[in-house]
Amino acid sequence: MRLSMKGIVMNMRAVKRSKMRRKFIEQIPLFLFILPGIILVLLFNYIPMTGLQLAFRDFQFSGGIWGSPFVGLENFRQFLLSADFWRALKNTAILIPLRLLVFPAPIVLALLLNEIRNFKFKRTVQTISYLPHFVSWVVIVGIMDILLSIDSGAVNSLIKFLGGKPIPFMGMESWFRPLYIISGVWKEIGWGSILYLAAISNINPELYEAAEMDGAGRLGKMWYITLPGMVPIISIVLVLSMPGLLSAGMDQILQMQNPANMGVTEVIDTFVVRLGIGRAQYSITTAIGLVMSVFSTTLLLVSNNLSKLLGGEGIW
């Protein structure tokens, strides 16, 4: 009896292995499809991570990564003692809440566009609003320079026409953050709204009909049906945007940065670029990047768990 039971168990395991083998063989074409993607991820995401050891070495061109002397946590100590680093960290911390203030702008635009009944007008507004997304920050800031020029800019020309004194907008620290928010909203509000409009289109129309029968107006339907229906996609987008907050929009800031406003425009990423490319301090900048990566990962994990606890969606 024992031998027969043992034989049955072995037979079941053999059948299971046979099914798994057959299933694997059937899915080989699918594995071949994803193989190029896996290779690219390994080449460009994982293999370069060997360079993180630069954070613990005194990099020298003659010795390369592997031949440079090991210095432990010395690079971390050096950047923590740098006054420029703490200034950059302070500016980054100030800009992070400002970037979060920009986050609701595409949601508001999507809600407003959803209420427009004229199809042609709606499409026109959508096209005009998301076109700036495809323009680089070099061009955007160039347009701002022209419009806000102290000599011939349209804005300062209007100020002088009204009897005021021209304002050097791009060279004043006090004007950097307002311009940072305005230009960020202008460039990305239309593109971000596309995702939320797609979420709105998936809401069951019968819910609006039921709300209308109960006497709900446009604002009521927007508040009690449209917004709750958008919560899953809003939570996912918010979680995915969390790691990028620490960069504070470096592409945008780098173009707006000049010697006159350096006191408020120097963020961690621009500090790393200036220190790494300008001064060839690769070990220190790698150490800074490693610390910021740890913070970004922590922020992603915390925000993902909070999103699920508060009833939203997570990315896993």
Please state, in angstroms and as integers, the Cα–Cα distance from residue 25 to each residue in 1, 18, 234, following that order: 36, 11, 40
* pLDDT digits 0-9 by tens, 49-82: 888 888 888 888 777 778 888 888 888 888 888 8
Average pLDDT of 173-182?
88
- What pLDDT does residue 7 have? 61
DSSP state of 135: S
* pLDDT digits 0-9 by tens, 17-27: 777 888 888 88
Phi and psi torsions of 78, nearest 5°: -65, -45
pTM: 0.77
Beta bridge partners of 64: 60
8 A C-beta contact, residue 193 and residue 106: yes
CATH (residue range 74-309): 1.10.3720.10
Instruction: Find how far residue 266's CA is from the centre of its chain.
Output: 19
8 A C-beta contact, residue 175 and residue 140: no
**Residue ranges per structural domain of the chain:** 2-56, 74-309
Residue bearing the bigger pLDDT, 207 or 315: 207
8 A C-beta contact, residue 239 and residue 303: yes
How is residue 253 written in tokens?
């800031």
Place of tokens 């800009």: 95
- What pLDDT does residue 169 have? 86
- What pLDDT does residue 39 have? 93
